[in-house]
């Protein structure tokens, strides 16, 4: 009997939200409770190969050279959606690697799932428009919907019961406002409470969660407007406010979610001091202890040097803005 093998590889980059996704409207379909706005980075990526093979009894996943049974269910569920579209039953061998630490609050699930759906659609020869890839990537991880696109990206929470209008779309190309990012690594290793359970806990128990959801529309408008006008000071203000609101909701959960360490807080002070002295820079922090400093290109060497000087900073990565997911 003839066996058919279908394979493709894709690269997708990490993205950091400036206006954050935190909380779900629908857990099964992974529809976010709020919209979000992000930037896609150039220097942090996932490379993923997907090979459908009729001889396989189950899907297989290797991440950074290690079998990851713990991540397989999410990956298989995402692949099932693509198999269904293509009318294919074959299981797949997925080999993925990140050029940055996995699960440490550097958006590895965003780049990972965006690369996965792009490669799987390519392997199955499905000619899907990016918006549909974004919907599929969302099913794997909400933030992954944004990594399908490059530059400045907005994710819509959507209203449709089936989640069909919950996708990301590009707002502005990275070349149109070439911001840069310096990332202070303050701890290595995978984080204790992942985003998924962190946001669930916040929604269930934080008294500030409803205020977080209710005020997100204002922040999205302010960020959209700041990006359209390339108004750095306005983007800095809304991004830092939104980051602190997300963490305030998380800190007030039971049990509390404290993602920061001492160096995280020192980096925040360092960024604020720099801005006070006229350097165009602001910070954001996700569900982990790393601090992402976003700045105008000319300020990046200074920002990087200042973060390196903060006690407890182990390393500083830097990146420009980057493109969307692509087959390779
Ligand atoms: C703090 O996209 O990882 O990084 O949809 O459950 O996989 P799931 O969550 P995920 O959450 C990202 C949360 C965040 C903020 C953001 O990226 O918007």
Asked if residue 71 has its Cβ within 6 Å of ligand 1, the reply is no
Quick one: pLDDT at residue 101?
A: 72
Quick one: pLDDT at residue 188?
A: 87
Cβ atoms of 56 and 7 within 8 Å: the answer is no
- Tell me how long the chain is: 328
181 forms beta bridges with 294, 319
Question: CB count, 10 Å around CB of 306?
Answer: 23
Atom of ligand 1 nearest to the CA of 19: 18
Q: Looking up tokens 């297989």, which residue turns up?
A: 60
Domain extents for the chain? 5-176, 180-320
Residue 83 pLDDT greater than 50, yes or no: yes
Q: Using CA atoms, how far apart are residues 211 and 223, in angstroms rounded to an integer?
A: 18
Quick one: pLDDT at residue 1?
A: 41
43 forms beta bridges with none
**For 8-14, what is the mean pLDDT?**
98
CA 71, 11, 103, 296: dihedral to nearest 10 degrees? -160
Choose between 188 and 22: higher pLDDT: 22
* Residue of minimum CA distance from atom 1 in ligand 1: 286
Q: Using CA atoms, how far apart are residues 129 and 136, in angstroms rounded to an integer?
A: 11
Could you tell me the fold of the domain covering 180-320?
Alpha-Beta Plaits (3.30.70)
Residue 195 CA, ligand 1 centroid: distance in Å:
5
**For 296-320, what is the mean pLDDT?**
97
CATH architecture of 5-176: 2-Layer Sandwich (3.30)
**Chain segment 108-132, per-residue pLDDT in tens:** 899 999 999 999 999 999 999 999 9
Atom of ligand 1 nearest to the CA of 105: 4
**Chain segment 225-256, per-residue pLDDT in tens:** 999 999 999 999 999 999 999 999 999 999 99
For the chain, how many helices (H) and strands (E)? 10, 14
Q: Give the helix ranges, DSSP H, for 22-143.
A: 69-86, 108-123, 130-140
* Residue of minimum CA distance from atom 7 in ligand 1: 141
Residue 22 CA, ligand 1 centroid: distance in Å:
7
Residue 107 CA, ligand 1 centroid: distance in Å:
8
Quick one: pLDDT at residue 322?
A: 98
Quick one: pLDDT at residue 191?
A: 67
What pTM did the predictor assign? 0.96
With the most atoms of ligand 1 within 8 angstroms of its CB, the residue from 195, 198, 248, 283 to mutate is 195
**For 180-191, what is the mean pLDDT?**
89
Quick one: pLDDT at residue 155?
A: 98
Quick one: pLDDT at residue 33?
A: 98
Residue 2 pLDDT greater than 50, yes or no: no
Residue 21 CA, ligand 1 centroid: distance in Å:
6
Asked if residue 111 has its Cβ within 6 Å of ligand 1, the reply is no
Average pLDDT, the chain: 95
**Chain segment 193-221, per-residue pLDDT in tens:** 999 999 999 999 999 999 999 999 999 99
Q: What angle do CA 48, 13, 279 make, to 5 degrees?
A: 160
Residue 143 CA, ligand 1 centroid: distance in Å:
5
């Amino acid at each position: 009997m003839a066996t058919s093998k279908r394979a493709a590889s894709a690269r997708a980059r990490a993205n950091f939200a400036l206006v954050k996704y935190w909380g779900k409207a629908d857990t099964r379909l992974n529809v976010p409770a709020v919209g979000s706005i992000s930037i896609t980075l150039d220097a942090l990526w996932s490379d993923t190969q997907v090979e459908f093979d009729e001889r396989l009894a189950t899907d297989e996943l290797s991440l950074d050279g290690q079998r990851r049974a713990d991540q397989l269910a999410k990956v298989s569920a995402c692949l099932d959606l693509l198999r269904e579209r293509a009318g294919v039953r074959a299981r797949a061998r997925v080999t993925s690697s990140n050029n940055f630490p996995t699960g440490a609050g550097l958006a590895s699930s965003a780049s990972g799932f965006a690369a996965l759906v792009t490669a799987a659609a390519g392997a199955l020869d499905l000619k899907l428009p990016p918006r549909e890839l974004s919907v599929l990537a969302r099913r794997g991880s909400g933030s992954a919907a944004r990594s399908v696109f490059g530059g400045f990206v907005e994710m819509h929470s959507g209203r449709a019961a089936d989640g069909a209008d919950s996708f990301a779309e590009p707002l502005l190309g990275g070349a149109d406002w070439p911001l840069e990012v310096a990332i202070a690594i303050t701890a290595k290793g995978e984080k204790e409470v992942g985003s998924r359970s962190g946001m669930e806990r916040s929604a269930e128990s934080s008294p500030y969660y409803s205020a977080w959801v209710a005020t997100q529309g204002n922040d999205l408008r302010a960020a959209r407007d700041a990006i359209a006008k390339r108004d750095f000071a306005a983007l800095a203000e809304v991004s830092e406010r939104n980051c602190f609101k997300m963490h305030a909701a998380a800190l007030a959960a039971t049990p509390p979610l404290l993602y920061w360490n001492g160096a995280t807080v020192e980096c925040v002070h360092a960024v604020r001091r720099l801005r006070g002295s006229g350097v165009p820079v602001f910070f954001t922090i996700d569900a982990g202890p790393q601090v992402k400093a976003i700045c105008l290109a000319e300020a990046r060497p200074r920002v990087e040097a200042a973060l390196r000087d903060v006690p407890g900073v182990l390393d500083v990565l830097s990146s420009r803005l980057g493109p969307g997911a692509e087959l390779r």
